[in-house]
């Protein structure tokens, strides 16, 4: 497995082989059946282009009250459990003494992107964020902990795993764009990104 370093973020190329990607995707379909994708709003009331949902004890939501982890889906239900396939990925790569309590599922359709941001809504930043890419390729941009610093980009491919941890835990990162239709993993195209974290 190739390992690429992107400003302290470790990217493991092809961490999941195509068969394992299909298995995770089928587990994620079950998550989506219990917790449908929704389009969060920013604090300013703008709809994000990425659709999201979560599994775990808490899930990440955003609305005019701000970003936070919540015990319930915006529709009112509890979040589904984190699939075993993803817990196993955490055990293999996170080097953490705790299991993740949240799994954010991002869906990028054609034209979706995510601006540069830090993942800092978690209570304990000593645990890494594990980020799995499935489906279409995405131009992933990573900067520094300080904003405004130079950035570097890399095309993430299906099966790649990024570990955002240690000194890089608070680096700015985002997705400039996806190459819609570049992968055949999702029958209708698009990209799924899954992040596992210890949030509470």
Q: Is 114 in the site for ligand SIN (CB under 6 A)?
A: yes
Provide, rounded to whole angstroms, the least separation between the CB of residue 117 and Mn ion.
Answer: 6
What CA–CA distance (Å, rounded) separates 98 from 93? Answer: 12
What CA–CA distance (Å, rounded) separates 157 from 159? Answer: 6
**Backbone CA torsion sign across 47, 50, 51, 54:** negative
CA-based Rg of the chain, rounded to a whole angstrom? 15
**Positions 100 through 139 that interact with Mn ion (CB under 5 A):** 119
Which partner in ligand SIN, Mn ion, none is near 106 (CB below 5 to 8 A by kind)?
ligand SIN
Which partner in Mn ion, ligand SIN, none is near 193 (CB below 5 to 8 A by kind)?
ligand SIN
DSSP letter string, 24-54: HHHHHHHHHHHS--B--B-TTSPBPSSEEEE
Question: 């400003």: which residue's tokens?
Answer: 7
Provide, rounded to whole angstroms, the least separation between the CB of residue 152 and ligand SIN.
Answer: 14
Take residue 118 and report the two structure tokens written for it. 């830090």
**Positions 126 through 185 that interact with ligand SIN (CB under 6 A):** 131, 138, 140, 173, 175
Provide, rounded to whole angstroms, the least separation between the CB of residue 131 and Mn ion.
Answer: 7
Query: Which residue of 195, 196, 197, 198 would you call a contact of ligand SIN, by CB under 6 A?
Result: 195
Question: Using CB under 6 A as the criterion, which residues of the chain lie in contact with ligand SIN when the complex forms?
Answer: 106, 114, 131, 138, 140, 173, 175, 193, 195
């Amino acid at each position: 497995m190739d390992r690429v370093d992107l400003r302290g973020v470790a990217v493991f190329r092809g961490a999941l082989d195509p068969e394992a990607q299909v298995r995770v995707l089928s587990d994620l379909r079950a998550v989506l059946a219990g917790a449908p994708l929704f389009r969060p709003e920013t604090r300013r009331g703008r709809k994000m282009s990425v659709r999201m949902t979560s599994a775990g004890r808490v899930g990440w939501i955003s609305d005019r009250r701000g970003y936070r982890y919540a015990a319930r889906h915006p529709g009112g239900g509890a979040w589904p459990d984190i699939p075993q396939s993803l817990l196993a990925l955490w055990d293999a790569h996170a080097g953490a003494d705790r299991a993740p309590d949240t799994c954010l599922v991002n869906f990028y359709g054609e034209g979706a992107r995510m601006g540069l941001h830090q993942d800092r809504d978690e209570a304990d930043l000593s645990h890494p964020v594990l980020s799995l890419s499935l489906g279409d390729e995405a131009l992933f941009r990573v900067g520094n902990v300080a904003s405004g610093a130079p950035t570097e980009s890399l095309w993430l491919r299906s099966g790649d795993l990024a570990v955002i941890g240690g000194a890089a835990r608070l680096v700015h990162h985002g997705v400039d764009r996806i190459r819609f239709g570049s992968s055949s993993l999702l029958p209708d195209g698009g990209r799924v990104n899954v992040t596992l974290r210890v949030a509470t």
